[in-house]
Amino acid sequence: MTTSLTSVPAAAAVLPAVELDYVASCELPMPWAKFRLHAFTEPATGKEHVAITLGDVANGEPVLARIHSECLTGDALFSLRCDCGPQLEAALQKIAEEGRGALFYLRQEGRGIGLVNKIRAYQLQDAGADTVEANEALGFKPDQRNYRLCLPMLQHLKISSLRLMTNNPRKITAMEQLGLKVVERVPLVITHNPFNERYLATKAGKLGHLF
Ligand SMILES: Nc1nc2c(ncn2[C@@H]2O[C@H](COP(=O)(O)OP(=O)(O)OP(=O)(O)O)[C@@H](O)[C@H]2O)c(=O)[nH]1
Ligand SMILES: [Zn+2]
């Protein structure tokens, strides 16, 4: 049985709604704790998104949260070109340490351009472009993500106040524009290696990330 979860709060009335359907939840044991996994579908795109929770996130207290954008290469294939894998792991570990929190895994691969286009962008980066120049050369904005996706999931889980694990101030602004309260920014660990130095420098220099 699916439940339709379309809504736009007053603060985000100017933005078009994103409709998600809640489908099912299950236990998800991980090395750090036994989480719960909640599945949603996005009828407009056919994409499947998930939220991972631990503890009672619906009790009104601010929730330690991570909004994580899909990165197949970093999250699953151990790529050292970015810091996504270690950030995903660190966020889940921190939620487990606190015994309560939520991670939203959004299928917005490659900052919203998709896996194949991200690999095209990486090819341009191999030839000298930075991450922003590569996206633009392919006809995309530097960051095409839409955080409105989170709203139906947050509402389904009854979360309205966040302690957000991020180094990206635009994520905080996006959440506030959706009518959510961000009571704290919790910085995330950055893992430097010889392959991601330029990626991290571009994030700090052109995309406004706080390191
Ligand atoms: N287009 C493109 N996407 C990338 C590149 N490197 C990583 N990504 C994607 O960027 C997304 C992660 O975003 P980041 O900009 O690294 O970090 P963030 O989510 O904005 O900020 P944090 O909350 O601090 O992690 C994932 O969807 C990755 O697949 C790249 O070179 N080009
Ligand atoms: Zn990545």
Tell me, what's the ipTM? Answer: 0.97
- Specify burial of residue 19 (Cβ count, 10 A radius: 0-12, 13-18, 19+): middle
Q: Catalytic: 100? A: no
Instruction: Report the separation in Å between the CA atom of 148 and the middle of ligand 1, taken as the mean of its atom positions.
Output: 17
- Residue 105's alpha-carbon distances to 11, 51, 67, 128, in angstroms, are 24, 6, 6, 30
* φ and ψ at residue 20, rounded to 5 degrees: -125, 150
Residue 180: CB atoms within 10 Å? 24
Q: At 93, list the tokens.
A: 């570990």
Whether 145 sits among the annotated catalytic residues: the reply is: yes
Regarding beta strands 34-42 and 20-29, do their DSSP bridges make them parallel or antiparallel, or are they unpaired? Answer: antiparallel
Distance 83 CA to ligand 2 centre (A): 6
CA pair distance 126, 134, nearest whole angstrom: 10
Q: What pLDDT is attached to residue 4?
A: 46
Beta carbons within 8 Å of 131's beta carbon, 6+ residues apart: 121, 125, 142, 199, 202, 203, 206, 207
Distance 151 CA to ligand 1 centre (A): 20
Domains of the chain by start residue, with CATH: 21-108+145-207 (3.40.50.10990)
Residue to mutate (ligand 1; options 81, 84, 165; most atoms within 8 A of CB)? 84
Environment of ion ligand 2 (residues, CB < 5 A): 71, 74, 82, 84
Q: What DSSP element (H or E) covers 56?
A: none
Rounded-to-integer distance, Cα 35 and Cα 52, Å: 6
Amino acid letter at 171? K
Tens-place pLDDT, residues 107-136: 999 999 999 999 999 999 999 999 999 999
Task: Please tell me the pTM assigned to this model.
Answer: 0.92
pLDDT score, position 16:
64
The ligand 1 site (C-beta within 6 Å) comprises 69-71, 82, 84, 87, 108-111, 113, 118, 121, 131, 135, 166-168, 171, 188, 199, 203, 209
Nearest CA to ligand 1 atom 3: 110
Over the chain (211 residues), the average pLDDT of each successive run of 10 is 40 61 98 98 96 98 98 97 96 98 98 97 97 97 93 97 96 94 92 88 87 80
